[in-house]
Structure 1
Amino acid sequence: MAAPTVTPGSAAEEGGRFPAVRGAPPWVGGIVGVIMIIGVWWIASLTLYQGSGAIPTPPSVVARFFDAGQWSATLSNAGGTVGSAALGYLWGNLAAIVLAVIVLLVPPLEALAHQIAVVSYCIPLVAIGPVVVIVAGRDAPSGASVVLAAMSCFFTTAVGCLLGLRAAPRTSIDLIKAYGGGAWTSLRKVQLISALPSLFAALKIAAPAAFLGAILAEYLGSGGDSTLGRAVIAAQSQSDAPQLWYLALVSGIVSGLGFVVVGLIAKLVTPWTAGTDVPAGAT
């Protein structure tokens, strides 16, 4: 029997064209991507936008992070925005989960629930934001921020929760019914547990969305004076490009932290979703 022919480079192809990069930890790729983005940013600031200054150089923006007075003001502003976003995140996700459970227990309401979810997703927040700000008024300065934050995460969580509830093993549900259990028992014993991975995946996406909705409401006039949205307005009125970019980076960091925190909670609550390798010979 003829031996298999090994062409030059086939071993390299089996191990990947760049075996050193392929075997590196995942965070190495993230660092390389960040360095490339900063490089493009720096080149653009020194060439295309050197005259206008619309894109500041990275050092001018990074310098804001080492300004003690700037940090004090940023933490004060971020506290109000994060508080409104967290409250909207709580109410929006709670409403989405309740809606998904109602649809599961009362199937005839599914069409109505889908319409509510789609309408909440299709309404432009920029268009409805000023209306909510006026309705909230001065009596509830952060009311619009909470509402827009809730609307930003409602659709994602509702869809994720409903898909997770419907992904429950049919055999487990039939077993509960065979022992005399009803829909509520199936929901508590099987479907809620099966829905946790999909639910947490939606909750991770909803965290940055809620923060974005809160900032948008503040930019439209909600939340009072000590918020990130008002800080953006002040920097924009003064044409302070480094400050605007600094606030954008701060907002991105806060959103990313929200995503990471929910992800860590998901790993603690649903450890079975992180697959583990079975040692050789264990079976």
Structure 2
Amino acid sequence: MRAFRAIALGLVAGILAWQATVLLLEPPRYMLPPPLDVARTLWTHAARLGRETLVTGVEIALGLVLGVAAGMATALATVALPRFGAVLWPQVLILQAMPVFALAPLLVLWFGFGIASKVVMAALIIFFPVASAFADGLRRTDPDLLDATALTEASHFQALWHVRVPLAVPALISGLRVAAPLAPLGAVIGEWVGASGGLGFLMIQANARMQTDLLFAALAILAALTLTLRALVDQLAPRLAPWAAEEAPPPFLQRFATRKTQTR
């Protein structure tokens, strides 16, 4: 609840600053409509905005699942199989260095104008911070803990699964905090390049027709989706890694410590 309360306060502050800018500078409405006009547009175009939000929301959800799964699998593969990782990780870095806007037309060409290209675009943007953060967390495991697991005759993969992965979950959560708010950006970029629906498609149409209030309404929904995703990650973090906030060692390390003592 604290995360959602902070978001609400931030939104109120942003709207007040927006209204103050309109009152002080008096820009033309087609450049910066007042918040009240945007709120009225949200109400009058609720049905249309709802349909486009549903399209973009599905793309974001699928892209988030695909990107997180691919990022975690890549990080695990590079650490579990060091030789394979030495070949794979440079390819990941090369792909990460490519501009997103340069990849978007190719994805539309390869996957079509449907939902697939938008899901892949969202997944790509999510993939890199998740893979980088999780791989870094896996590599930074305390060597003394790995030595302790070796005394219990645990295999390389057992140590990876029971020690490295749980201790790397906080790093994974940090990657999710960065990646989750980027998911809407990936979906919208894909819709800008080529789509028949979604908030990005609506924004392109509104901009071409000088419907700035509708454009701002779509932006407001997109901002709400972004903030909601970040808040959800913050809410899930204590459940994914409750031991990160505890002074006592997590249960899996207690189990290995007990086995180490018995072997002595």
Taking structure 2 as the reference length, the TM-score comes to: 0.83
1:235 Cα deviation (Å)? Answer: 1.0
1:220-266 C-alpha deviation (Å, 9 max, x unpaired): 113x33x1111112211211111111111100101111111122222
Q: 1:51 to 1:64 in 2, by over 3 A?
A: closer
The aligned residue for residue 155 of structure 1 is 128
Counterpart selection for 1:170 from 120, 143, 150: 143
Q: 1:105 to 1:36 in 2, by over 3 A?
A: closer
**Contact persistence 2:56–2:188 (CA under 8 A):** yes
1:172 Cα deviation (Å)? Answer: 2.3
Greater helix fraction, Structure 1 or Structure 2: 2
Distance in 2 (CA, whole Å) between partners of 1:261 and 1:229 is 23
Matched, 1:112 2:83: no
The aligned residue for residue 18 of structure 1 is none
Q: 1:233 to 1:271 in 2, by over 3 A?
A: same
Which amino acid letter does the alignment assign opposite residue 228 of structure 2?
A: L
1:33 Cα deviation (Å)? Answer: 5.4
- Residues paired across the two proteins, number: 246
Distance in 1 (CA, whole Å) between partners of 2:49 and 2:110 is 28
SS in structure 1 of the partner of residue 45 of structure 2: helix
Distance in 2 (CA, whole Å) between partners of 1:210 and 1:34 is 20
Counterpart selection for 2:206 from 200, 210, 235: 235
The aligned residue for residue 163 of structure 2 is 190
The aligned residue for residue 247 of structure 1 is 218
The aligned residue for residue 85 of structure 1 is 60
**Contact persistence 1:120–1:154 (CA under 8 A):** no
Q: 1:267 to 1:129 in 2, by over 3 A?
A: same
The aligned residue for residue 7 of structure 1 is none
**Contact persistence 1:117–1:158 (CA under 8 A):** no
> Rg bigger for which structure?
1
1:175-201 C-alpha deviation (Å, 9 max, x unpaired): 221222121010111011001111112
Distance in 1 (CA, whole Å) between partners of 2:177 and 2:105 is 27
Which amino acid letter does the alignment assign opposite residue 266 of structure 1?
A: A
CA RMSD of aligned residues (A): 2.4
Distance in 2 (CA, whole Å) between partners of 1:250 and 1:192 is 36
Taking structure 1 as the reference length, the TM-score comes to: 0.78
Percent of aligned positions with the same letter in both sequences? 24
Which amino acid letter does the alignment assign opposite residue 176 of structure 1?
A: T
Runs of 4+, deviation exceeding 4 Å: 25-36
Residue segments in structure 1 that go unaligned for 5+ positions in a row: 1-24, 277-283
Residue segments in structure 2 that go unaligned for 5+ positions in a row: 248-264
SS in structure 2 of the partner of residue 92 of structure 1: helix
**Contact persistence 1:120–1:151 (CA under 8 A):** no
